[in-house]
Amino acid sequence: MPQSIRVRILNRDYSLQVDKQDEQRVRGIARYVDTKIRQFQRDHPDQSDITGPVIVALAIAEELFAEREKRTVAETDLHTDIGELIASLDAVLVADETVAGE
């Protein structure tokens, strides 16, 4: 059952509805976003107040897409490896059946 929590990003409170088991994860995400935006603002004090959150959102989305791509590549590699392993095991079983049948 969702519960209401408050997180703080850039000195502003946001009320969010989250499941109890997700509370700490969501709080950690909010801290991560707040830290990233503050770092951007420190590094680029000449940028407008809205630019920081937008640039940080794009950077976080880029991280997400890169991780998804890595996972897809890893899954593809895993499926290839499993296919090769199955083929090797099949070859061994066929060889064992041939030897046993002689």
The per-residue pLDDT for range 42-72, each reduced to its tens digit, is 999 999 989 999 999 999 999 999 999 999 9
Q: How far apart are CA 12 and CA 23, in angstroms?
A: 18
Q: Domain coordinates of the chain in residue numbers?
A: 2-101
The pTM of the whole model exceeds 0.85: no
For the stretch 2-23, pLDDT in tens is 999 999 999 999 999 999 999 9
Comparing CA positions, the residue from 17, 13, 61, 18 lying closest to residue 36 is: 61
Whole-angstrom Cα distance, residue 72 to residue 94? 33
Burial 43-57 (b: 16+ CB within 10 A, else e): eeeeeeeeebbeebe
The partner residues of 94 in beta bridges, in order of sequence, read none
